[in-house]
Structure 1
Amino acid sequence: MTALFRPLTLPCGVVLKNRLVKSAMSDSLGDGRGNPCPVQARLYERWAEGGVAVSIIGEVQGDPSVAEKPGNLVLGPSSDEVNLRDLTRRGATNGAQLWAQLGHAGAMAHPPISRPRGPSALNISGLNCDAMTEAEITALPAAFARTAAMAKRLGFGGVQVHAAHGFLLSQFLSPLFNQRSDAWGGSLSHRMRLTLEVVEAVRAAVGTAFPVAIKLNATDQLEGGFEQAEALEVISALDATTVDLIDISGGTYFPGAASASDRVSSGPYFLEFAAKARPRTAKPLMLNGGVKTRAQAVAALDSGAVDVIGLARALVLDPVLPRHWQDNGADPAFPRFTSPPEGGVTAWYTMQMTALAEGTPGFDSDDLAAAIDAYDQRDAARTGLWREQFAR
């Protein structure tokens, strides 16, 4: 177990107490006005008490007009700083750190509360968005930087730039979403330009001793999308930046696409890709997705391909899993779902996070329909609150 519980010093000098990180998930526990509910602080406190080195809370928006869901947090002029400071304090107990995932949903922005806009205009089944203007694009690095600076001021221990899963920066990287012919599209060097500029703007805003991570797709898992060969080139480019941790993930929430988190696999999803990425960078690499057992986590670290293990659904099932693994305890028991609808498994785990936060039993795995209904009803109720709060 030495590998899992060995400290890691990030390039910025901050030390992670072990190699286990609660990966970003959309917990949907905001109050519908961009602020945290008290139970959200309890959720991240539970994970901190359970022994993780870091919890990453996603998504945290700087611009409420491009939010992923009405349960997201928003850092801006109307933020409830008292509850946000309570969240960051409680999420950093037991030597843990709480990082904010800086998000911008772009073309994937939730239409009932947003104005979807991405690199290029799209009008396809389930996805309609306008193209961003050059002025809107050039303003983005400073916008991300302002959100990062506010996160630091409110007590977050670090930030993660979200460039995966089909959200805005991922859209710019993907030739499927990004069909521009100007300085922001076409060649990979043009498509990665915005991501690199955001990373450096965020670093300038938070200083040299504050963790700045990035979440990057190994592949979009879409025909004509962002592929592994290009992802490796982006990792080579990130090696020349001041980023502290590269979180490797994959897949997209493109309508109708299979979610990476719902795939059937006997092991980590992107470990082979990480092994290819390892020679490209000296930055710490984090493996995200498909790690379900202690043996898999240890083997991934022992392989030398990665430095950190990201856990998400495993920590929903067992919020004190790091302590259990340190004591040679059991692995979590993952539920099985028969023919779940698109987004259904995500909804079930989201409602399990609510149960963890509230200290209630939650839904059984055979209550998938009830979990989806509760998830949808909560989003619908918060949509009106969001529109009222952020009316333009």
Structure 2
Amino acid sequence: MTDYSRRAVLLMGSAAVLAGCTAVPRGAPHRREVLAGADDFEPGEAPPFTLVEVRRETLPELRNWPMTGFRPPTGWPAAGNGPTAPRIQPGDVLDLRIWDSETVSLFTADGERAIAMPGLRVSPSGHIFVPYIDEVHVAGLTTDTARRRIQEQLEAVISSVQVQLVLASGLRNSVDMVSGVANPGNFRFEEMNTSILGMISAAGGVPEGLPNPYVTLMRGGQVYGISLSEIYGNPARDIALRGRDRVIIESDKRHFIALGAAGSQQVVRFDQQEISALKAVSIMGGIDDARADPRGLLILRRYDRGQYGNPGQPATERVIFSFNLTNADGLFSADEFQIHSGDVVLATQAVATSTERVLRLFGSTLGFGARVSDIGGSSN
């Protein structure tokens, strides 16, 4: 068989294989294969999915579409300092010691100079009972201010009296470190303005084996959330805790699925508050420059019932977002498009890659080079 004949056989065989369903192994589908069937539906039926080309023009509308997948609490309180000393609150327990230098005292027995009155619980109305002066309102005061108030009222009865006051305990001046630390429990403020990182440290820190820690803060009927890495990276996020705060630290449950002609194919957990499509490509090892189609980055997303079919919402339950990473608009748009938990990020395979594999297959079979340039070479 002449070289010309061999080239003809190769061209005809290659065309036949490329025209049909080839058995050439590959790690990802082509873009056109994934999008096939977009128009395959009967009149009156909803299309099987919606294809959205993500560009500068479409981004504003897409930002208003509903969030999908698992959604942890978001938002974070603004940084700000409170009082530097704990404030006495209803339910707190105070230890009171009264000193009296008088020989005959209303408080102390013979030979004693002080009497201890531990375990004085602040009433719901904010008072404690002290003998001879009845109830004293202490809620909202620092321990030093409350001590002076009690002493001033006692001095009207015993001029030489002195008062010592200690805030022993109280839920309203403590924080619950619920989970995600080495030593969870209730931690009382030694002083106010204790930051969340300071309290995490007091609780033994976050175990190294906890992947992508996410912090949930429950405060006054509100629930806030942020990734721990963002607190580490931004001092303004290291806010001062308040009494009765509850802190829960657990692994961020959000994830996306990386598939196709990329550096890795796996379930990828979120490692920060927001992940763009471009960041997702980077996390999954980039698209394979030898196999991937940079015009065919696809993100597959499913919307819940009630999140599609209405004005300002996706038209269908299933939506495929398409990105062209070969131009500036596509790259910028991918960097502004946010990944949702549960998204599938698919790097499709370039058609030219499959073509080259077919040519190599036939070239190997016929015993000559597999390069495309060989086909167009001159005959002898």
The structure where helix makes up a greater share of residues is: 1
Decide which structure has the larger Cα Rg and report it: 2
Normalising by structure 2, we get a TM-score of 0.20
Which structure ranks higher in relative contact order (CA pairs < 8 Å, sequence separation ≥ 6)?
A: 2
Normalising by structure 1, we get a TM-score of 0.19
